[in-house]
Each structure stands twice: as C-alpha cells, then as structure tokens.
Structure 1
C-alpha cells in the first residue's frame, strides 16, 4: 500500500476515533437533560437548582480546568492526556448515579466537568493538525458530528434506560463506552505533529504571549464573543427542552427521548456536514464568505425558536426545533474553524481552550441557570407557563451573536494573514 494511502487511512482512523471520544463527552454531559425531571421530583428541587446543576456547576469546573489543560496539550502527547481524562470523566459519570442527595450530585457533576476539560482543546487541535486549512472545515464538521450523535444517544438511550430501570442506572450505562475508548486512545493513537502553514514544526509560545496575540486579533475576539452568546442560548434550549415537552405536552421520559434524540441526530448530521462542505467551498476565493454563513445561521436561530415556543400544535413545535437544530449545527464547525485559522499552529490548543472557557462558563454555565431563575421569578405572573416565557427570552439572543460575527468581518482577512505568518 502506498505511503500516501496509508497516511490517509491513519488520518481517517484518528478522526473517527476522536469523533467517538467527543460523542461520549457529549453523551455524559447531556444525559442529565433527559433525567433532570426525575431527579427534580426525587430530590424536590426548584428550577433554579436544576439550572445550577445542569449549567453553572459543571461549567465552572470545565472552564477553570480547560485553560491549564489547553496549555498542557500544546506541550505533551495529546492522545495519552486525552485517554487519562476520558477514563476519569467516565468514572465520575457513573458516580452521579450513586448520589444520595443534591449536594453529592453537584460534587459528581463538578468532577465530570473537570475531567472533560482536557477533551475539547486536545481533540480540536489534533483534528486541526491532521488536515490542512483548505480541508479543516470539513474535518471539523465530521468531528462535530459528535454533538448530535452524543446528544441523540443520551436522549434516546437515557430515556429508554431511565424509563425501564431509573435515572441512576442511566448514568452508569452512559459511563461504560468511555472506558473502552480510553484503551483504544492509549494503545492505538499518537497525536500528529504541530505544523505551521509552511510545514515547519510549531513551538508553543508562553501563555502570556498567546493572550497578547489573541487581543491583537480583533476578528478572533469578536468570534469568541459571538460563539459565547450563541452557546448561552443553545445551552438554555438544550438543558430545558426535555422539561418543556414533559411539562407542556404530557409526554413520558421515554417518549421525549424517542422524539428529541432522533430529531437532534438527524438535524445535527445534516447541519454539521453542510457547514463544513459549504464553508470550505465558499471560502476558497474569499475566506470571509464563511463568516457570512455563520452570521446568517446565528440570526436564524431566533425565529426558529420563537416558532417552537409559541406554537401549541406539536408538529409545528417539532418543526421549529428541527429547523433551529439544523441551523445551529450549521454554524458550529464553520465558527470553530475560523477561530482555529485565526490562532496559528502553535496556539491552537490554547486558543481552543480559551474558546471553550468563554462558551462554557459564560454560555453553557449561565444559559440553563438564567433560564431556571427566570422561570422561578415568572411563576407569580405566568404560573405554569413560566418556563415557556423564560425560554422565549433567551431565544432572541441569536440576533445579537450574528452582529458580532459581522463585526469580525472588518479585520478577518488581515488577522488571518498575521496568524498564518506567525
């Protein structure tokens, strides 16, 4: 077999394995969504406490640990680091099923967040180093299939297992695939070399130099802000979607999982693959065109969600959710590819960690919590409809995030040149 063909097979294997690892990460994180109503009833929790458990507690741990691990991932063998962290967060996911009270469950979720912190920077930087810039959007789109795959598996599998055996068993079952993948990572994968656009091996600069560089990249800063706002809305919708159907549409946990899981998976696969292919194709002549795609997708989030939260006919609600999911997933790989292109080879893991810190702490952390608090505050006025109105509020953030992507267009080209030269 020719060396070039062997190299391509190794790249494809690495991409598939890293996508599966990321899928397990999303599954372990998302399974809480389908289980939270059962947990709320058993532990007698408020919506604010659910938002704290499903958002801020996990996100604070994730954000606090991800930057050190991002810096570390630019300096060590990334596949080994990822294998150790994968085994740890899988173990702590199983521990969630053993929690005897709310505080114990919070502590377990804190540990899951800390364990997953190394995953994203290491995997994103490896995928970016495996493929050149002209194919990076497509590669990241394949990698980000992990989001609908992981979320779909969590909703369907978690709903079926919880419906039959209870929410505790669902946590334990979600942990098992991670241990198997950790072994594959440790024994079959080596991280690719970190190379610049010119092919030279890139040496990681100190953290202070990375931070100083990021601040000079105005397009990168605007993209991080846009992704953070979008993540806040997405986390709120993702965290409360199952509760929305359980409360307002008289569905069981099993039924919600079987509806939202496939919807998430199908819309996600379509959106993700379309994003990478379209972004790479339209960006060949002018890389700024990919940002127009991102801005348009983010702006369309809001009307799709308004349809989902204001209609009472279930078919219209599902159509709104499906449209939102497809265009949300359309924006993710293209946006991430843009930030990686603006980072430069030597800073990819660290910049990926900065993106994760912002989108996780300020986005995923605050989204579920703000929605839960808003729902509790609105109960005296809206009664049982309080959660619907709280979700409607966060759904309007798509327009705001799109404005920051448009602001990034002003300096994107020169910032890209600076990143490729450094």
Structure 2
C-alpha cells in the first residue's frame, strides 16, 4: 500500500512539472493553509483594544504577547520540524501543525489574564512552526525553476488574505459578540480544514523538477543530509545572511506596523472597532495581494537574466514604501490616506516571492526545507519577537510626552528599519550569482 501511495505521489508531481492542473490545486490548498496561519496570527492586532480594556494590559504587554509569546517557540521549533520534514511526509507535518495552531487559537478565547493568554499564544506558535518551511519545499517540487518566484508569491497571498480575514471577522465578531468568540470561531474553522488539506495534498518527489531535460530519476530518493551538512552548505554563503537579516529588518517594521496600525487608527484617526475592521482589512487585502504579485513577477522576469534582481527588487520597494507611509499618516482625508496606505502595504510584502525563491536556490533540493527554516528562524525571531514588542514599548515610553499620539511616533521610529533592510538586500544582490546552487 505504501509503495502504491508513493508511486501515486511521484506521478502527480511529474504531471505537475509537465503543466498538469493538480499543482494548482496543491497551491490553492497551501494558500488556504497559509491564510489560516495568518488569520490566527494577526487576529490579535484588531482585538488588542478590547483585550487591553478587559484584561488591563499595557502596550508593552500586548507587544510581548503578540511577538515574543508567539515567536519564542515558533522560530526555535521551526528548524527541527523542517529537518524532520526533509525526511518524512511534509503534508503530514503541515496537517498536524494546522490542527495544533488552530486548537490553541480556540484556547486563546478562554484566557482569563495576561499569562494564560501569553501561554496560549505560545501554543499557536508551536503549531505554526511546522506550517511554512514544508510549504516552501512543496512548492519548489511542484513548480519549475522559472515559475517558482511567482508560485511562492502566490502562496504568500495567504498573508494579506489571512490578515484581512482576521481583521475583518475578528473585528466584526468582537464588535457584535465579543473578542473571545472571535478566537474560538476562527480556531474551529482551522481544525475543520486540516483533514481536508491532508486528503487533497500529496507529497511529491523531492527535486523532481530540478533534473535536466532527459535526465532519468534515481531509483531511490537521495538520503536527506545531516543537519550539520546543511549548516556547512549555507552558513558560509554571505548572501544567506544578508537575505535573512534584510528580510528580518523589513519584518520588524512589517509585522510591527501590521499589528499596531489598527491601534493607530483608533487613537489618531478616531475609528470605531467596526470601521477599523473594514478599513484595515481592505488595505491588507488589496495592497498586500498587489504587492506580493508585483514582487514575484519582477523577480521571475529580471532574475532569469540577472540573479541580483531577486534582492534588488525588494530593496527598491522598501525605499519607496518609507515616504509613502509617512505621508499617509499625516493627511486629513481618510480616503486619501487609504490610497496612500495601499502603496506601502503592498511594497512592504513585495520581498516575499523574490527573497524566498532566492533562499530556495542557495541549497540543493534535499536541503531546502531546513534551509528555509533557518531563514525563517532569523526573519521571524527578529521580525515577530522584536517588531511587535518594539512598537508597543516605544509607545509606552513616549506616552508621557505625546499621550494618545504616542503610537504615531513609535511608528515613525520603526520605519527606519526599512532603510537598513534595503541596504542589506543591496549588498546581498552582489553575492547571489556566486552563492547560487545550480
């Protein structure tokens, strides 16, 4: 039975490589899983005001809960789970991960104070640790090289979709029922989706689409390398570090702003919970999808001629996003602000397709999942743990001086990370051709 199942999976992967439709079904299921990932992750941002009022929390505590609590185990467990995914079924790992993080999202709705909610968010991080790196590896085995940046960009649509749905449903449910029921409802939906995901998505042959035309597949799949061998392959490559820390600096700002913008809209723009949910969900959906697709298209179009484009394209996007954010925060019209916010909301996510695709090509196929997890470890440990805490801490620090406007100034300070990210990615662009693993 097992051999038949493996043969079926390989056949589907080979069919996908020749243009079959099944790979798009797989991509759609991976997008849905990623949507649940970010829905459960980002819902806390829109609920922050309601939670703060009931549990009597500070901005710093909210930042710790959304960042450190989630990132502590999410980042550290991601590497060993990815190492395991290079050896066993990636779809099984993702299915279990989806069930665990959705289950702990339900538990968040039962929390009675800071520490119980903090621990529940750690549980969400435990589950989500197995959700992303295996998906990157699956996409690399379902789509040929020339389409991977776009495929990874489309997969990343789960970020704006999940953020938008989390903000919309979380805000509306909290406004008309309460914040606890919002957690419970979205968590149960993810638990119900998990078995459907496992039934539809098959684990393909690893590296099947990386063979040269006419090259015969090996009789047995290559043995997964030891963890030390993966480290020895990617750690000496400067582009790995530059891409990782460049993405991490952008994520400090990206995750931080995404979490705290609803609070800014409440305090500085005076929007109600329902208005914030509608306003910010629309921003996240339209701006995020457009920006991610733009990044993937630019990378696939120009990266084929010059691999430096995989890092240069997002660097330029960050430098354009910075002044647009500042301008959007200082206009009087909510309509004009919305149009201006669309630009940096999109450019903020344009790095996903190009940078993730580049990371996939710094190691051979048998090392991709673990390499992706190492990248995510750096990106999320800084982006999530530091980003959400930084804005909340600076806001509390500036409250005596700026009062309700303290979050505005915290965001001003945080936007400087875009400049650092751009510099690191420009440096990475100079090394990519040399570090690329053909």
TM-score w.r.t. the length of structure 2 is 0.92
- Structure 1 SS opposite 2:204: coil
- Structure 1 SS opposite 2:398: helix
- Structure 1 SS opposite 2:21: helix
**2:43 equivalent among 12, 31, 49:** 31
Equivalent residues of 2:26, 2:200 under 8 A apart: no
Unpaired stretches in structure 1, ≥5 consecutive residues: none
Equivalent residues of 1:55, 1:368 under 8 A apart: yes
How many angstroms does 1:139 deviate by? 0.7
Equivalent residues of 2:308, 2:430 under 8 A apart: no
How many angstroms does 1:291 deviate by? 2.3
**1:198 equivalent among 177, 197, 211:** 211
Distance 1:47 1:4, change over 3 A: closer
Asked whether 1:81 is paired with 2:93, we answer: yes
**1:328 equivalent among 323, 348, 368:** 348
Asked whether 1:43 is paired with 2:63, we answer: no
Asked whether 1:339 is paired with 2:351, we answer: no
User: What do residues 143-189 of structure 1 show as CA deviations (whole Å, max 9, x unaligned)?
Assistant: 01101111111111111111111100100111132123211122222
Aligned residue for 2:8?
none
**1:248 equivalent among 268, 287, 306:** 268
User: What do residues 336-358 of structure 1 show as CA deviations (whole Å, max 9, x unaligned)?
Assistant: 11111223211111111112111
- Structure 2 SS opposite 1:365: helix
**2:240 equivalent among 185, 207, 220:** 220
Equivalent residues of 1:53, 1:109 under 8 A apart: yes
**2:34 equivalent among 22, 46, 52:** 22
Q: Whole-Å Cα distance in 2 between the matches of residues 74 and 383 of structure 1?
A: 51
Equivalent residues of 1:300, 1:398 under 8 A apart: no
User: What do residues 233-277 of structure 1 show as CA deviations (whole Å, max 9, x unaligned)?
Assistant: 101101101000111122111110101101110111111222222
- Structure 2 SS opposite 1:216: coil
Q: Whole-Å Cα distance in 1 between the matches of residues 131 and 167 of structure 2?
A: 21
Structure with the larger helix share: 1
Aligned residue for 2:110?
98
**2:175 equivalent among 140, 147, 163:** 163
Asked whether 1:61 is paired with 2:73, we answer: yes
Q: Whole-Å Cα distance in 2 between the matches of residues 367 and 104 of structure 1?
A: 22
**2:418 equivalent among 393, 398, 401:** 398
Q: Whole-Å Cα distance in 1 between the matches of residues 283 and 110 of structure 2?
A: 30
Equivalent residues of 2:396, 2:406 under 8 A apart: yes
Q: Whole-Å Cα distance in 2 between the matches of residues 237 and 4 of structure 1?
A: 42
Aligned residue for 2:143?
131
Asked whether 1:372 is paired with 2:392, we answer: yes
Moved more, 360-369 or 295-304: 295-304
How many angstroms does 1:319 deviate by? 2.8
How many angstroms does 1:300 deviate by? 1.9
Equivalent residues of 1:195, 1:202 under 8 A apart: no
Equivalent residues of 2:303, 2:309 under 8 A apart: yes
How many angstroms does 1:212 deviate by? 1.9
Q: Whole-Å Cα distance in 2 between the matches of residues 383 and 186 of structure 1?
A: 50
Moved more, 211-220 or 108-117: 211-220
Q: Whole-Å Cα distance in 2 between the matches of residues 303 and 396 of structure 1?
A: 11
Equivalent residues of 1:308, 1:321 under 8 A apart: yes
- Counting matched residue pairs gives 417
Aligned residue for 1:319?
339
Q: 4+ residue runs of structure 1 moved beyond 6 angstroms?
A: none
Moved more, 395-404 or 4-13: 4-13
Equivalent residues of 1:220, 1:342 under 8 A apart: yes
How many angstroms does 1:316 deviate by? 3.7
Q: Whole-Å Cα distance in 2 between the matches of residues 31 and 333 of structure 1?
A: 24
Q: Whole-Å Cα distance in 2 between the matches of residues 343 and 151 of structure 1?
A: 31
Equivalent residues of 1:307, 1:316 under 8 A apart: no
Unpaired stretches in structure 2, ≥5 consecutive residues: 1-11
Q: Whole-Å Cα distance in 1 between the matches of residues 433 and 108 of structure 2?
A: 46
- Structure 2 SS opposite 1:42: helix
Q: Whole-Å Cα distance in 2 between the matches of residues 128 and 288 of structure 1?
A: 20
**1:111 equivalent among 123, 144, 164:** 123
How many angstroms does 1:289 deviate by? 2.4
Moved more, 191-200 or 158-167: 191-200
